[in-house]
Amino acid sequence: MEEIVENECLFQEALNGWVQNHDKEFSDKMWFCIYECCKNMMKSKANGIIVPDLESKAMDATIKIMDKILNHDVRPKKLSSYCYLWCIGELYNKKNKQWERAA
């Protein structure tokens, strides 16, 4: 639980830094925090279930979230709340499921 709070604080600091001066250092920190949040959230959702390419699904969600933050001026107030639907979308995407079944 402490790691989640620490990750949230790091993300909010990086987001504030990004808003002030759009430095790549802050976007890299945000990327790491978002990826860790998505990966942990997907692992908790898939508890006891084998999910193919869980890390790549977390990466896909991270890419979409970073796009919203960097290009569409989205400012999440709480990282886990914002990431939740993106993670669910990647885990239960119908097109991905059909692709995985065919492989």
79-91 vs 54-71: helix crossing angle, rounded to 10: 130
Task: Please give the model's pTM, rounded to 2 decimal places.
Answer: 0.90
Residues of the chain below pLDDT 70:
96-103
97, 103 Cβ separation under 8 angstroms: no
Helices (H), the chain: 2-21, 24-45, 54-71, 79-91, 94-102
What's the pLDDT at 102? 57
What's the pLDDT at 103? 58
What's the pLDDT at 92? 85
Nearest Cα to 83, choosing from 31, 38, 44?
38
Q: What is the pLDDT of residues 75-96, one digit of tens each?
A: 999 999 999 999 999 988 877 6
